[in-house]
Amino acid sequence: MLKNFWYACEFSSAITNKPKQVVMFNQRFVLYRDSHRKIVALQDQCPHRGAAFSLGWIEKDCIRCPYHGWKFQADGKCVEIPSNAHGTPIPKKARVDSYPVKEKYGFVWLFYGDLPEAERPPLPTFPEYMVRAMRPVYDDGIDHANYARLMEANLDFTHVIAVHRKSFGQRIPINKTINYQVDKYDWGAVAKVNYESLGNSKSFLNFLLGGRPELKTKLTLYLPNVTLAEINVGRGGRFDIKFGILVAHLPIDENTTRVKRVLYRNILPLPWLDGFFRKIDHKLAQEDTVVVATLDSQPMPKISDELHVAADALDITFRKFLQKSQASFREQVTGDRG
């Protein structure tokens, strides 16, 4: 698990005054809201016998262990041990790690690391037109594949003609070298690819859009675990069809990922159609997962271990980010041991 990043770990709506467990890389976290609606995040393991706090309960903004009722406050410090007489000193080791959390765009973001507040990276900024004006649909599920491999599929411009050939990929006109510029920033990268048209057939959509629709795609990486695909079908007019596919990938272990998706749309933004669009988005996502789950190496291999072409530029950028972060973490661990 990469350190010193903000992880999109849960939908805000899922956190209440009852403990909620979140698992990332085999580490358990427990989240709950206090009486002021503020989210508290702690290590989900009592230091006494190791029970999961997420099976316990909230009492006066503190959390009780479900095993022996030890009481811990929001900073992770134990403040009461029921089996000890009043006034008995509480052991200094009776505490657990607490984690900074923020809420934005309907997600809870948990900071995993040891940087002081002033040195932490900012939360990502998503496109204003999307989060303000488009209809969101939420989905949550488990994929039996590596989180980074799934992210890599979401940052791939050309897999659609094969992975999604039975759904929509056969209409994507990829018949030339796909070459594009990758713009990198401190906490991610972005790239764009525009396609000339979506085929030669005549339809009402062609009439509405003033000609054969163009497909414009923009893929963005937000380290450490979020991807965004912006899709525009049309000719730059007010009738253009737009989608935003925002995905948070929670790495449960090397081969299992909890995937939290938000599909934004400007087409038919009616609440009673949310289920229809959710099913479509889920189906397309599973087309990716079926293939990604078969990859020989689930943990991300070195760049030199596989073949690459020009169209892989954004994926290679992602791999470089991962390798750099992992190398930095190894250096810190080695230094600490020294």
54 and 189 share a domain? no
Of 100, 119, 138, the last residue of a domain is 119
| 335 within a domain of the structure (yes/no) | no
- State how far the Cα of 172 lies from the Cα of 20, in Å rounded to an integer: 42
The residue ranking higher by pLDDT, 31 or 200, is 31
Residues 88 and 152 in one domain: no
Please determine, for residue 2, whether its predicted confidence score (pLDDT) is greater than 60. yes
pLDDT tens-place string over residues 12-70: 999 999 999 999 999 999 999 999 999 999 999 999 999 999 999 999 999 999 999 99
pLDDT band at 213 (very low <50, low <70, confident <90, very high): confident
Per-residue pLDDT, 211: 56
pLDDT confidence bin for 202, thresholds 50/70/90: low
- Which residue is listed with tokens 């973001």? 109
Rounded to whole angstroms, how far apart are CA atoms 264 and 284? 15
Q: Of 61-75, 165-179, 200-214, 323-337, where does the model show the most confidence? A: 61-75
> What is the average pLDDT across 110-137?
96
Residues 316 and 255 in one domain: yes
Instruction: Give the single-character DSSP code of 107.
Output: E
Q: From CA 244, how far away is CA 262, in angstroms rounded?
A: 8
pLDDT at 177 over 50: yes
Alpha-carbon separation of residue 167 from 201, 287, 319 (angstroms): 17, 9, 29
CA atoms in the 13 A half-sphere facing the CB of 18? 3
- 236 or 203, which is more confident: 236
Domain-embedded: residue 205: yes
Out of 119, 152, 184, pick the residue that ends a domain.
Answer: 119
329 within a domain of the structure (yes/no): no
pTM equals 0.91
Count of domains observed in the chain = 2
Ranking 158-162, 169-173, 200-204, 239-243 by mean pLDDT, the lowest is 200-204
Claim to verify: residue 104 and residue 148 sit in the same structural domain: no
pLDDT value at residue 296? 87
Average pLDDT of the chain is 90
Residue finishing a domain among 73, 100, 119: 119
d(Cα 62, Cα 64) in Å, to the nearest integer?
A: 7
Q: Please state the φ and ψ torsions of residue 231, each to the nearest 5 degrees.
A: -125, 130
Q: What is the CATH number of the domain that holds 91?
A: 2.102.10.10
By residue range, what is the domain housing residue 187?
128-324
- Assess whether 154 and 30 both reside in one domain: no
Residue 239 — very low, low, confident or very high, per pLDDT cuts 50/70/90? Answer: confident
Cβ–Cβ under 8 Å, residues 1 and 112: yes
* Mean pLDDT calculated for residue range 145-155: 97
Within a domain: residue 7?
no
CA angle 64, 66, 70 (to 5 degrees): 45
Residue 141 φ then ψ, to 5°: -165, 175
Within-domain flag for 200: yes
CATH of the domain at 288: 3.90.380.10
Q: Is residue 181 over pLDDT 70?
A: yes
Q: What is the pLDDT of residue 329?
A: 56
Tokens coding 56: 């316990």
Report the DSSP pairing between strands 101-104 and 107-112: antiparallel
